[in-house]
Amino acid sequence: MIGITNIYVSPTCVGTSGFIILFSLMVLTALSVPVIYMLPNRAIKFAAYMFLGFSAYWVAGAATNLTPTGIIFDSFQFLPTAIFAMANAIVILIAIVDSPRYGYGFAGMGFAIMVYNVARTWNLDYVGGKPDMLLLTIVLCSLIPLLWGYLLSGTARNLRFSAVNRFYATLKTGFLTLSVFVILALTVEISQHPNIDKLGEVYVFISMFSGDILQICWYYLLSNVVFVMTVFFADHLVLNAFDIEKEMTEDGEVVYQRSIAEAEEEEEKNPYGPIIREMNNFQSEFKKGKLNRLTCVQKLGKFRSELDLLVSKYDYGSKNDAEKLLHKIERNVEFSFK
């Protein structure tokens, strides 16, 4: 439903008020990601993410015409760049909540930006009537979000939250993708000037408008870093607020469940109670990123030895819960330090 709304509503948005509407549409698009995550069929889920991605980048295409002032790099001012950054941030959100492979399906729909600008006028005026420039911009529009998803997939999947590490990874990705964004902006702008048809004239154009190019670089870095970091913090906040644990299955799927709290009605003299509490404390410290690889290996060895000893001595109590918890911790540690 939100995808259809994006496609039908976004072309009517103009000016600052239109930006507010587009901003709201992108927020609703982000909120629909957990709903799609619940779909049981992988093929249907992938198709849903692709359609959602098409509608999101369609909105980004509509944003390029929010304030048609006729100035240089009109389509790459702050407001359209911010909407584009929000769509890129949703790619990371999908990688966090679900899986990077679904994020790639969403990101690959970046070409919808150009589809919108062609469908708006039913001609190629946006790229100066040049089919080759249209093809190049289609590739670049999809390449940028795909690179965001690829370069940040490892950070997005890391179960240990570190704000500093995620900020540096996001900033690094911003700089690595910046050159592609600049090429996209130059391709669109130069193609709209029929008098620029030689390589030397391209160099002159770049030197004349170097200040404007630096400005759109700032817009790109600022908006993308802010929105991607917002996604990271929002996910961490929700997991902690609702006491939800996230773990990775052996086939890379994300599974959510309520934290394993201490049993309120534990069996009297349960011999497994102390080790379960100790493992829960270790799990909390691990999630905060306070433990290094060596400490984790030593702790896991200690837990395994103690649990094996308890199993050999007692045939009652919460043995299954203890073994399940230890197995989950081992899997999460292995994935985080892979």
Digit-coded pLDDT (tens) for 166-223? 999 999 999 999 999 999 999 999 888 877 777 777 888 888 888 999 999 999 999 9
pTM above 0.95, yes or no: no
* Residue 264, pLDDT above cutoff 50: no
pLDDT in tens, 16-65: 889 999 999 999 999 999 999 999 888 999 999 999 999 999 999 999 98
Q: Where are the domains of the chain?
A: 2-244, 260-336
pLDDT, average across residues 86-98: 96
pLDDT, average across residues 100-123: 94
Angle among Cα 168, 232, 158 to the nearest 5 degrees reads 75
Q: What is the distance between the alpha carbons of residues 214 and 160, in angstroms, rounded to a whole number? A: 35
Q: Single out the residue of 51, 142, 45 nearest to residue 97, CA to CA.
A: 45
* Residue 266, pLDDT above cutoff 80: no
pLDDT, average across residues 68-77: 79
Given a contact cutoff of 8 angstroms between Cβ atoms, the answer to whether 99 and 241 are in contact is no
Tokens representing residue 196 in the block: 């620029």
* Residue 67, pLDDT above cutoff 90: no
Percent of the chain clearing pLDDT 90 (strictly above)? 48
**pLDDT of the residue at 271:** 82
Q: Give the pLDDT band of residue 249 (cuts 50, 70, 90).
A: low
Mean pLDDT of the chain: 88
**pLDDT of the residue at 118:** 94
Given a contact cutoff of 8 angstroms between Cβ atoms, the answer to whether 224 and 185 are in contact is no
* Residue 70, pLDDT above cutoff 80: no
Q: Single out the residue of 69, 9, 3 nearest to residue 30, CA to CA.
A: 3
**pLDDT of the residue at 293:** 82
